[in-house]
Amino acid sequence: MEEFYEYDEFRDRVSTIASDGQRVWVYPKKPKGKLFNYRKIVSLILLTFFFGAPFIKIQGDPFILLNIIERKFIIFGMPFFPQDFYLFVLSMIAFIVFIVLFTVIYGRIFCGWLCPQTIFMEFIYRQIEYWIEGSNIQQRKLDDQVMNFNKFWRKTLKHTIFYLISLITITWFLAYVIGMDAVIAGLNQGIFAYPGATAAVIIIAVIHYVVFAKLREQVCIIICPYGRLQGVLLDRNSIVVSYDYKRGEPKGRYNPLENRDEAGKGHCIDCGACVQVCPTGIDIRNGTQLECINCTACIDSCNSIMKRTNQPEGLIRYASERSIADNTPLKFNIRILFYSVVLLGLLGLIAYLFTQRTSLETTILRMSGSLYQEYDENHYSNIYSLQVINKTRTALPLEVKIAKPAGGTVKMMGDPLLIDRGEVGKANFLLVLGKSALTSSQTPVEFIILSDGKEIDRVKATFVGPNALDR
Ligand code: SF4
Ligand code: SF4
């Protein structure tokens, strides 16, 4: 690939930092095209989900709740408790492996199509900017002007709307933490009813605003850990937005009267359209770069140029560096197939882990420090403590019975056990066994946990008695 580069200067610095260290502000041209339209649809679906999900309830519970403060978690309508933390850890490990494998094959598709940073930036904030300040050229002119009335009202309006959107977004995000009902109730009481929460929302909204009004592509280039990892995750076989230098080079100005092949020119007419639309300010013709978020704006832009110059589309396209170097079409090869199968396997593992979660967690232990008692001349008794975590959505009346050995009796202490949803219930009980039922000094026993007469769990324990000689 190097043979086509007359200079490698672009490798010396990040595209948005000038040689004197100053930020180079990017004014990308408004993209349009087939892929941009698809991305609009994907963004609309994701934004609808983000703003709609807090209103969805399942049996009175939010669809998603991530209440770290009160340790209440509901994911896709399924309540989770701190006791399920191992599931979270396992899922996270599987998820990280998933991300690594996904990136090795499909590059930064996530960044361009699904990342909230890109969606909010390109489909909300940037669109408002085009609406208020005009095209990229008009924006640049406006910034170059000294302050005047036109600049003042446009900038004020833009930044006010930006901040309001940040405020709404963070308030919405709060609904994922404490629930939409609590947010609405809090707002109805007025913003001074909870000064701490109000201050937190205002401050986080300021950070959100700064990210989208000022930092922008710097988040993807410098701050985002996933972006920083790209250098080690991508290889020559990864699918990325690529410029087909074999076809495009040598570049040359377009002349409708000229046959480019005969003139020794490649398909790139050096129009710069791909550079103008790039939100990270790079020239994809220099090859894969860490700044590229695979937003596909340059693909759309170049395709429209190819159409206008009667050349085949796809000079910039999704391709691997190897497929371009070897001049072969991107194939669904064994490597992609293998990695995709592993990815599906990981998704299956995560789903399996979630289905294995029980809705009731019961622990029965002999009370610490207790020994057996002689209940009457024919029976011994042991005292047990029972702990039940009710992970269901309903309150559960519980009773304990003995399954093995037959003939034993469970005598509960205290009130009948009723455990509210999401609560941990505790009780003590006696197990009375006939002396003849003891098989050793540690007789295995099995309890059945019932709710409304229906068996919902079984727990094994041991019954301590005297050894055979003392019985
Ligand atoms: S190079 Fe193309 S795909 Fe990459 S960020 Fe720029 S416009 Fe998007
Ligand atoms: S848009 Fe296409 S033709 Fe124009 S400079 Fe970029 S690669 Fe070359």
Q: Which ligand lies nearest to the CA atom of residue 241 in the structure?
A: 1
Q: For residue 315, how far is its CA from the centre of ligand 1 (angstroms)?
A: 14
Q: For residue 170, how far is its CA from the centre of ligand 1 (angstroms)?
A: 28
- CB atoms near residue 388 (< 10 Å): 25
Q: For residue 269, how far is its CA from the centre of ligand 2 (angstroms)?
A: 6
Q: What's CA 326's distance to the chain center, in Å?
A: 36
pLDDT in tens, the chain (471 residues): 444 445 566 666 778 888 888 899 999 999 999 999 999 999 999 999 999 999 999 888 899 999 888 888 888 888 887 777 777 787 788 788 888 888 888 888 999 999 999 999 999 999 999 999 999 999 999 999 999 999 999 999 999 999 999 999 999 999 999 999 999 999 999 888 899 999 999 999 999 999 999 999 999 999 999 988 888 888 888 899 999 999 999 999 999 999 999 999 999 999 999 999 999 999 999 988 889 999 999 999 999 999 999 999 999 999 999 899 998 877 777 777 887 788 788 788 878 877 777 778 889 999 888 888 998 888 999 999 999 988 887 888 999 999 988 888 999 998 888 988 878 889 999 999 998 888 888 899 999 999 888 888 899 999 998 876 565
Question: What is the number of residues in the chain?
Answer: 471
Asked if residue 430 lies in contact with residue 410, where contact means CB atoms within 8 angstroms, the answer is: yes
- Ligand 2 atom at shortest distance from the alpha carbon of 243: 7
Go through the domains of the chain in sequence order and give each one's CATH number: 1-63+107-326 (no CATH), 360-470 (2.60.40.10)
Q: Which residue's CA lies nearest to atom 4 of ligand 1?
A: 292
What are 80's strand-pairing partners?
73
Asked if residue 155 lies in contact with residue 132, where contact means CB atoms within 8 angstroms, the answer is: no
Q: What is the pLDDT of residue 469?
A: 55
Distance CA 464, CA 21 (A): 76
- Ligand 1 atom at shortest distance from the alpha carbon of 291: 5
Q: What is the pLDDT of residue 4?
A: 46
301 in ligand 1 pocket by Cβ < 6 Å? no
Q: Which DSSP helix (H) or strand (E) runs through 369?
A: none
Q: What residues contact residue 194 under an 8 Å CB cut-off, 6+ apart?
A: 186
What is the SS3 assignment for 25? coil
Q: For residue 135, how far is its CA from the centre of ligand 2 (angstroms)?
A: 20
Q: Ligand 2: residues within 6 Å at CB? A: 243, 248, 268-274, 285, 301-302, 305, 315-316
Q: What is the pLDDT of residue 175?
A: 96
Q: What is the pLDDT of residue 8?
A: 61
Cα pseudo-dihedral 243, 244, 245, 250, rounded to 10: -100
Q: Which residue's CA lies nearest to atom 2 of ligand 2?
A: 302
Nearest one of 258, 195, 188, 26 to 121, comparing CA atoms: 26
Asked if residue 381 lies in contact with residue 361, where contact means CB atoms within 8 angstroms, the answer is: no
Q: Which residue's CA lies nearest to atom 6 of ligand 2?
A: 274
Q: For residue 176, how far is its CA from the centre of ligand 1 (angstroms)?
A: 32
* Two tokens, residue 452: 């409304």
Q: What is the pLDDT of residue 2?
A: 44
277 in ligand 1 pocket by Cβ < 6 Å? yes
292 in ligand 1 pocket by Cβ < 6 Å? yes
Residue 107 CA: distances (Å) to CA of 229, 231, 283: 11, 11, 18
Q: Residue 272 — left, alpha, or beta (φ > 0 → left; ψ -120 to 50 → alpha)?
A: left
Cα pseudo-dihedral 46, 50, 56, 58, rounded to 10: 80
